[in-house]
Amino acid sequence: MEKEAKIKLLQSLIQTNSANGNEQQVAELIAATFANYGIHSTLIPYDEKRTNIIAEIGPKDSDYVLALAGHLDTVAIGNIDNWQHDPFSGEIIGDSIYGRGSADMKSGLAAMVIAMIELQEAQIPLTGRVRFIGTVGEELGAMGSRDLTKHGYVHDVSAMIIGEPTTGDIIYAHSGSIDYTVNSYGKGAHSSMPERGNNAISNLVDFINAEKNAFDDVPTSPVLGPLVHSVTVINGGHQVNSIPEFASLEGNIRPVPEFNASQSAQRLQTVIDQLNQKPQNNLELKIDFSFEPVVNDPDGEFVSIIKQAHQVAFGTAPKLDIIHGATDASEYIKDEHDFPMIVLGAGNWGDAHSVDETVKIDNFLKVSETYRQVALTTCAKK
């Protein structure tokens, strides 16, 4: 596949608006691209305008499956007036391509598609299968990867690379993430007679104070560090001279394997149950999203294979690191079948979700070559 065609593919993906909830066009574009090179894709509808995609090359009876996985959605562009470069232009300036999703993670998607096409074009005999997985909704709930996991699409996977932006370095572990809401129900009254009401804001403060120390006993992970938790949003009241009958807050937790997402959610519920023993409190917990932490062996065989592939593609050794953001791996890990899941993609993690998001063309191309080298090592005849 010529360099110009590779760049054009990435530009086309960026030019297709796939903000969360509108992923179908990108799935169809990828399917059409694969079809041009004789690779069959399966579109798996999730909802209106939302479609997951699976494509595969290699012998269908092979027991080895290398998954190249990524999400089709992006975050919204926000205020377009803040952008110096059209977020849907795929504009090239110097050695960089600009646009929403250029880093997170349409460059990863394009690099995976290209790697599979180049294997197909070269007619390299394969002993294993290479499977492309594109999901909806990773940026807000990871429902695509959850749905595919539920229906067994990763149950036979031997190893997986997730193409989130890492500039080509290896992320072998990441924290989980819990988003939650606490609602406080009180009783309205005139502010001149607060004794006739029940202040929902004051009751919510009880939770805020308890939350500060609710995880003090949690052990620190030797890989991911401490569990991190914060109350980040609060709403309550509607008029200054009225006792508020309702208030709510939102918070986030970054769980670690030593105290995972399920345990963290249960700890929050325990705090709520204890506070509700006070007669004035009527607090309700809702878990909005819950993602488990993912940790792989940095000295494992699959990491060694990726390190060698990176060395071939980049001419340098990769960096091994961790991140504290969750990925689709937090859903794939729920499959009862255990397999390594490594995060490696083009672009800088710090550019994700940013105004004037960008990716270096050279980095994008080298990451694609890294994927191809991993596939050659794991799936090609020796």
What are residue 341's phi and psi, to 5 degrees? -130, 110
Give me the DSSP letters along 16-63. S--BTT--HHHHHHHHHHHHHTT--EEEEEEETTEEEEEEEES-TT-S
Q: What is the DSSP string of 185-204?
A: E-B-EETT-GGGSB-HHHHH
Torsion sign across C-alpha atoms 137, 142, 145, 148 = negative
Q: How far apart are CA 219 and CA 77, in angstroms?
A: 38
Q: What are phi and psi of 327, to 5 degrees?
A: -135, 180
Tokens of 276: 């509700």
138 is catalytic: yes
Question: Is 211 one of the annotated active-site residues of the chain?
Answer: no
Give 116's contacts (C-beta < 8 A, 6+ positions apart): 34, 39, 55, 57, 68, 130, 132, 375
Are 60 and 129 a contacting pair, CB within 8 Å? yes
Query: 23, 104, 118, 138: which is the annotated catalytic residue?
Result: 138
Of 289, 279, 205, 194, the closest CA to residue 244 belongs to 194
Q: Measure the CA–CA gap between 176 and 255, rounded to whole angstroms.
A: 5
Q: Catalytic one among 56, 73, 292, 369?
A: 73
CA-wise closest residue to 323 among 254, 253, 263: 254
- Positions annotated as catalytic residues are 73, 138
